[in-house]
Amino acid sequence: MKHTKAGAFLLDLLWPNRCDCCLRRIPYDALICTECAHELNTLRVSNGDWQTCNPEVQVPWDGAAAVCKYAGAAKKGILAAKDGRCGFVRFMGTELAAAVRELLPEQLPDLITWVPVTKRRRLEQGCAHAERLAKACAETLGIPAAGNLLAEQSGKIRQHELPKELRKVYANRFTHTGVRLDGKTVLLCDDVLTTGSTLIRCTEQLREAGADKVYIAVIAYRMRE
């Protein structure tokens, strides 16, 4: 359904638009509040920071783009996305696109994909936030988004509820779908980079499907204390 601007304004009178991070009321056409946008600026990271904090982790990707640390407004916005609200994720899609341009100034990737979720989890969550992030980023960069490259086998376990040592085993549930990526450069999106196990597995799977280069792009890095 196509909303007119006036329609969106009227809808806002009934269901006020709120910032995902702090729940303050915001204009009907805003994605987050100016205070949280300012706070996110104070949390900014450089693209390579996660690897610098985790030099012992062997990563299969060719480079990583990220916007900020997983703290404050970023943490609240990501948790809101896991809960089905997506204003923050759409806002971050544009920010992440800028980080990707900085990482790859010469040649943008051929296509963007994301860490998949099962249909069941998608229903539970209301929106697949990694997918929305990837699509917002793809739109800003003007490159195609492809959702048919990776799949997650169904199951009842939720990864963020697992202890760290079991996450690696859980990550093996992600597989490529058989779509060939020979010679392609792929950008893989997710919300947070924590231990890296999911993104490592997905990167390996994309390579197995023939990808020449794989870069990752995340909203936030969970940094070591």
Residues that bind Zn ion (CB under 5 A): 19, 21-22, 33, 36
Structure tokens at 157: 């376990």
Main-chain dihedrals φ then ψ at residue 121, nearest 5 degrees: -65, -35
The least distance separating Zn ion from the CB of residue 88, rounded to whole angstroms, comes to 9
Task: Report how far apart the first and last C-alpha atoms of the chain are (Å, whole number).
Answer: 46
Distance CA 71, CA 67 (A): 12
CB 18 within 8 A of CB 28: no
Structure tokens at 6: 């006036």
DSSP SS3 for 9: helix
Nearer to Zn ion, 21 or 108 (CB): 21
Nearer to Zn ion, 19 or 128 (CB): 19
Name the residue type at position 24. R
Nearer to Zn ion, 129 or 176 (CB): 129
Nearer to Zn ion, 134 or 219 (CB): 219
CB count within 10 Å of CB 139 equals 15
The least distance separating Zn ion from the CB of residue 32, rounded to whole angstroms, comes to 5
The least distance separating Zn ion from the CB of residue 17, rounded to whole angstroms, comes to 11
The least distance separating Zn ion from the CB of residue 40, rounded to whole angstroms, comes to 9
